[in-house]
Amino acid sequence: MRHRPFLLAAALALALPAAAPAQFAYNPAGGYGYSQTQGLANMPSAGQAPFAYSPWGWGYPATWGYGNSVGGFLNGSASVISASGQYEMSHQQANLTREQVKSAHIDNKRKAFDEWRYEQENTPPLSANLEKSREEQVRQMLNPQLTEIWSATAPNVLLTDIQLIQSKYGVQGATVPLEEGVAKNLSLTTGTMPGSSGLLRDGGKLHWPPELQDERFKSDCDAVNKLLPQMIDQAKTSDGVSGKSVREMEGLLNSLTEKVTAAVDDMTPSDNIRAMKYVQQLTASTKLLRDPNVAKTLGGEWQAQGNTVGELVAFMTSKGLKFAPASPGEEPYYTSLQRSLVAYDSSLHQLMASPGRR
């Protein structure tokens, strides 16, 4: 029992309130300190957040502070899981977008194909467009200008139309006679060389227009009159025209052209135009002498033959010839030829328009 006093003293000490130890507290006004007691610490002051304990670490307020190792691990694990989920979602979204793009490409291809097929089904073929253009040209050449006739543009358009109809349908037009002298005053060509052979007839004997029968042009005209028959004779041989003759003729015609141009102030406009046109036609005709086939023209093998349009067309088709531009003096014969071609071509179209032909 000698320890009873000590036990009583210990119990009494525990029962009495003891002085509270200094506590850590944050004072917004005074900073950090240990001056407050437990009782004061338990008394929240106005405008001051209580100091709280967070299971993830100490902080102020309860949701703010540095976490401990366990909290950091869990927080990091949650971030990894969240990032993984976000990646999977983004990946699937990218796949979906890629498939949508593929689908859009397929739709565009299908639309493009449908548009192409629509255009193919509703656009006339090139052959139809060409045929329509040719028919329109034929209609225009039924009533052409004189210049289109004399340049052989209109006669050749009608000739092509006649040849196409006859070869395709095996029909013949009405019998349309040619006026007297038309066939022998036509110039024909293969179409490979410009110019007309009309000025090369009669062995190269030229009939100069009055506008060029002047002393200013006499020397050049006389030299051409002498050289042209020689070139025609050379062209009929197997060797053809010599280069010396070609160069000499070019020099004479260039000199004549320059003199006609220089005389523009001394001549009326119409006279100067006619003189220049004759020189140009003569220049083109002399170039025909370089064509290896010119011997057939000069020898008469390619001279137009036939008393009717049908006979003339058959001859030209068998030889592969076309009409060349009219030479000086041939214009009236070309005008007559045009009228005959129009009559023959019209008879073919009337025949094709009859029931049962197309």
Give DSSP secondary structure letters for 6-21: HHHHHHHHHHSPPPPP
Name the residue among 153, 139, 106, 109 with its Cα closest to residue 334. 153
Name the residue among 154, 223, 161, 235 with its Cα closest to residue 193. 235
Q: Report which of residues 77 and 224 the model is more confident about.
A: 224
Length of the chain: 358
Digit-coded pLDDT (tens) for 207-261: 899 999 989 999 999 999 999 999 988 888 888 888 899 999 999 999 999 999 9
Digit-coded pLDDT (tens) for 113-133: 999 888 888 887 777 777 777
Dig out the tokens for 194 from the structure.
Answer: 């410009």
pLDDT number for residue 23:
46
pTM of the model: 0.58
Between CA 51 and CA 41 the distance in angstroms is: 9
Q: Report, in angstroms and rounded to the nearest whole number, the Rg of the chain calculated over CA atoms.
A: 56
Q: Which residues of 261-294 are buried (b: 16+ CB within 10 A; e: fewer)?
A: eebeeebeeebbebbbebbebbbbbbbbbebeeb
Q: Residues 330, 336, 337, 338: what is their CA dihedral angle, to the nearest 10 degrees?
A: 110
39 pLDDT above the threshold of 50: no
